Amino acid sequence: MQDRTYTADAEPGDDATVAGWVHEIRDLGGIAFLILRDTTGKIQIKFEKDEMDDDLVETGLGVSRESVVKVSGAVEEEPRAPTGVEVTPESVEVVAPADPELPLDPSGKVDADLSTRLDNRTLDLRKDEVQAIFEIRSEILRAVREQFREFRCTEINTPKIVATGTEGGTELFPITYFGEEAFMNQSPQLFKQLIAGSNVERVFEIGPIFRAEEHNTPRHLNEATSIDFEGAFCDQNDAMDVVEGVVRAAYEAIEANCGDELEALGLEDEFGVPEEAFPRISYEDAIERINATGELDEQLVWGDDLSTEAEKALGQDVGGHYFITDWPSEIKPFYIKDHDDDPQLSTGFDLMHPRMELVSGGQREHRHEKLIEGFEQQGLDPDQFEYYTKMFKYGMPPHAGFGLGGERLVMTILGLDNIREAVLFPRDRQRLSP
């Protein structure tokens, strides 16, 4: 609609055509107002019943909430109007009527549970605070992309239908591919490494990952967005620098560009860019610190993975983002390189937010023989991964990388209770549509 003006651009003195949804009708007797909402905000349409054409008044005030209307008229200054301007309509057209019975109330006056909201996302996203989450998500992805480009990375897209899993065999979604067994990809891990080993050197991908997680938690999805990095001639410390760079870029972009959205979410006072550099705590020091908190029933010993309670105890102790480095080799995947001077110790790291893990990464095993040994140690058949391992025979440089959970990033930045709030159409145990 070329002749349409966004409500935020309607200036006093203009003759404008605005189009959007009927947010509210307030009838005060002789005067009544239709509040019209579009993606940029709201505008008041004034109906003076005695002075205006009856049909016009009837159309404008008889329309049900959430119907789509198009209104043309003079824009005037009006200090009593919510945005300081109002339109005196010359014409009102109902473009698409809405059923008067709505499954949820976009004005937010009546609360709806998350499940009802997810079943009716179109209506749910008509609420400022819900739209704000996705505006911020979009800004985060823009800032992350830009930061990766500043780090000389090339954006890639790798296949999502694959022949093998990489992140543990039990969490794969099987599909049939022309009669052959195939899977939905759990991670771009092997593909991003194959490209880091080419002349491209530094790559990133923002794309879906699929995990057949059986459990139903507020921080797991069965389809998530992974923000992946892989760089040749990088070690784990370089990869942690890149993690910190992109996470900070996301916070800084929100601070610079998302004032209105933070306000819609009531976060304008709470939000802040992390001030301190993210400390790098070794796994060994981490378990010592966790044990010292006295929060766990049983003391951790070297080799234990960290439970949710353990992560929580450490998160409270540290109070901000932190890395856990130098994990035991045994609890990290085959592609993570061990320290040269101590094969029990890996170069794997995690970035933690006090609420949950955000990132896993590490330096990769780039030596062909060692890589094959690693497969065998994890009970995987190296022959099945020949498409990957053979490239390690043709000049594979040392390289490192990470995967950052996109929804977890949004969730932790905005303090959302449930990861499903950060996805338009979440996939979980109970939810396959919409």
With binding defined as CB under 6 A, does residue 28 bind ligand ATP? yes
Question: Which one of the listed residues 360, 366, 399, 421 is annotated catalytic?
Answer: 360
Residues 214-273 that bind ligand ATP (CB under 6 A): none
Q: For this structure, is 26 an active site residue?
A: no
With binding defined as CB under 6 A, does residue 238 bind ligand AMO? no
Binding mask 139-168 for ligand AMO (x = CB under 6 A): ----------------------------x-
The Cα 401–Cα 194 span in angstroms is 12
CB of 98 to ligand ATP, least distance (A): 24
Spell out the residues 6+ positions from residue 228 whose beta carbon is closer than 8 angstroms to its own.
187, 188, 189, 192, 204, 205, 206, 207, 401, 402, 403, 404
User: For residues 118 and 221, which CB has a smaller minimum distance to ligand AMO in the complex?
Assistant: 221
**Binding residues for ligand ATP, how many (CB under 6 A)?**
9
- Which residue's Cβ lies closest to ligand ATP? 30
The Cα 269–Cα 282 span in angstroms is 33
Phi, psi of 235 (to 5 degrees): -110, -175
Residues 383-422 that bind ligand AMO (CB under 6 A): 401-403, 405, 407-408
With binding defined as CB under 6 A, does residue 30 bind ligand ATP? yes
Q: Using CB under 6 A, pick the residue from 81, 243, 262, 314 that binds ligand ATP.
A: 81
With binding defined as CB under 6 A, does residue 184 bind ligand AMO? no
Q: For this structure, is 80 an active site residue?
A: no
User: For residues 27 and 155, which CB has a smaller minimum distance to ligand ATP in the complex?
Assistant: 27
Q: Does the annotation list 10 as a binding residue?
A: no
Nearest to residue 372, comparing CAs of 352, 356, 393? Answer: 393
What's the burial of 40, exposed, middle or buried (CB within 10 Å: 0-12/13-18/19+)? middle
Residues 31-50 that bind ligand ATP (CB under 6 A): 31, 46
315 binds, among ligand AMO, ligand ATP, none (CB under 5 to 8 A by kind): none
Q: Does the annotation list 37 as a binding residue?
A: no
Q: Does the annotation list 355 as a binding residue?
A: no
User: For residues 139 and 167, which CB has a smaller minimum distance to ligand AMO in the complex?
Assistant: 167
Question: Which one of the listed residues 23, 117, 202, 211 is annotated catalytic?
Answer: 211
Q: For this structure, is 211 an active site residue?
A: yes
Phi, psi of 255 (to 5 degrees): -60, -40
With binding defined as CB under 6 A, does residue 393 bind ligand ATP? no
The Cα 382–Cα 324 span in angstroms is 29
CB of 320 to ligand ATP, least distance (A): 46
The Cα 125–Cα 287 span in angstroms is 43
With binding defined as CB under 6 A, does residue 357 bind ligand AMO? yes
What's the burial of 297, exposed, middle or buried (CB within 10 Å: 0-12/13-18/19+)? exposed
With binding defined as CB under 6 A, does residue 415 bind ligand ATP? no
Q: What angle do CA 210, 215, 218 make, to 5 degrees?
A: 85
Q: How many CB atoms lie within 10 A of CB 25?
A: 17
Q: For this structure, is 152 an active site residue?
A: no
29 binds, among ligand ATP, ligand AMO, none (CB under 5 to 8 A by kind): ligand ATP
Q: For this structure, is 219 an active site residue?
A: yes
Q: Does the annotation list 114 as a binding residue?
A: no
Q: For this structure, is 365 an active site residue?
A: no
CB of 190 to ligand AMO, least distance (A): 9
User: For residues 10 and 242, which CB has a smaller minimum distance to ligand ATP in the complex?
Assistant: 10
With binding defined as CB under 6 A, does residue 395 bind ligand ATP? no
With binding defined as CB under 6 A, does residue 106 bind ligand AMO? no
Question: Which one of the listed residues 213, 223, 263, 284 is annotated catalytic?
Answer: 213
Q: Using CB under 6 A, pick the residue from 14, 24, 58, 78 that binds ligand ATP.
A: 78
Stretch that binds ligand AMO, among 68-76, 117-125, 142-150, 223-231 (CB under 6 A): 223-231
Q: Does the annotation list 386 as a binding residue?
A: no
Q: For this structure, is 357 an active site residue?
A: yes
The contact set with ligand ATP (CB under 6 A) reads 28-31, 46, 78, 80-81, 86
* Residues assigned a catalytic role: 211, 213, 219-220, 357, 360, 408
Sequence ranges of the binding site for L-aspartate: 167, 211, 360, 364
Sequence ranges of the binding site for Mg(2+): 357, 360
